[in-house]
Amino acid sequence: MTTPRTHHLVLPGVLTAAQAAATVRAVRALQRPDGAIPWFRGHHLDPWDHTEAAMALDTAGEHEAAARAYDWLADHQNPDGSWYAAYADGDPERITDRTRETNFCAYVAVGVWHHYLATGDEAFADRMWPTVRAAVDFVLALQQPGGQIGWRRGADGTPVTEALLTGSSSIHQALGCALALADHLGDPRPDWELAVGALRHAIRRHPERFLDKSRYSMDWYYPVLAGAVTGGAARQRLAAGWERFVVPGLGVRCVAPNPWVTGGESAELALALWVAGDPERAREVLVAMRHLRDDASGLYWTGYVYEDRAVWPEERTAWTAGAVLLAVAVLGGHEPTRTVFTADRLPRGVEPACCD
């Protein structure tokens, strides 16, 4: 049975009310008592996917569970504003990867702004603002003169100046959300406004400033999903890569030309299509990936090797389910989710005055 809090999670051919409820319960069941949301129990937590799962909980009105996820981030943030790349089973004492990835750290801003929009909880916004501020400052310390953002610090603290297009695009969205939160709290950040403008310029005009990962579908659609490429340019970008990455009736390849479609990329492409103004095709992509749903658990398989007709890897992750719920929520009209994925509803910052 749907409620006013969850009616937007029902999409014909994709999710019934009962299926949506089962998926939300499954994500909640993966959350530890301390708020951590690992990929699945026994696997690791990374801060980006943890945040995506928390956002999915907010789409279903599970605000207390989502708030605990953000409290986990606040409680375990490093002194420099970062988080480590991986925690075994979400245990903050069992760090398995001590590198600190910039897009992982920035994404807290998207989640916090989304939670505030979903709840109107002013105390939460005030409480999380120092966490967001420190995370963004950590990230922007790795911004390069060309606007792109180095993708991580090594375990010894050494900065990596090479930039990833997908990661920098995700950071672009995060900076917009961070600026929206700053504006709401009356704490202007002009340096962030300059940073997001320079980053967007690099994404739009200077692909040579990023490592070549063009085999990965995320590099194709993420500049659109994250609001850096908009309008006609967004539609042209998606059209240009369609045949390379989309497998009709199955979903989206993770890597071209490998015969492997993945749930996370399929759901994110649906989000990107909605952002680009094509909700009907977005729905078609979600219908196509329906075969990845495991109805017994309510979760989704990570991927499917269609030449072998085999699920691979044999795992069902919180973040894949989270991506599906977010895509359905956008199509279903959930305004907080629409807001964080709509470029003109977020501050755009200041772009460079010249072309280079």
Give start and end residues of each alpha helix (H) in 226-309. Answer: 231-245, 263-275, 279-288
- What is the CA 69 to chain-centroid distance, rounded? 15
Fold of the domain spanning 7-345: Glycosyltransferase (1.50.10)
Quick one: which H or E segment has residue 209?
A: none
Beta bridge partners of 15: 11
Q: What is the pLDDT of residues 269-327, one digit of tens each?
A: 999 999 999 999 999 999 999 999 999 999 999 999 999 999 999 999 999 999 999 99
Residue 1 has pLDDT above 50, yes or no: no
Question: Domain extents for the chain?
Answer: 7-345
Please choose, from the candidates 62, 12, 17, 11, the residue with its C-alpha nearest in 3D space to the C-alpha of residue 318.
62
Q: Are 128 and 62 in contact (CB under 8 A)?
A: no
How many other C-beta atoms are found inside a 10 Å radius of the C-beta of residue 209? 18
Q: What is the pLDDT of residues 11-66, one digit of tens each?
A: 999 999 999 999 999 999 999 999 999 999 999 999 999 999 999 999 999 999 99
What pTM was computed for the model? Answer: 0.97
Residue 2 has pLDDT above 60, yes or no: no
Q: How many helices (H) and strands (E) does the chain have?
A: 14, 13
Q: What is the pLDDT of residues 297-307, one digit of tens each?
A: 999 999 999 99
* DSSP reduced 3-state for 253: strand
The DSSP line for 64-97 is: HHHHHHHHHHHHT--TTS---SEEETT-TT-EEE
Distance, first Cα to last Cα, the chain? 55
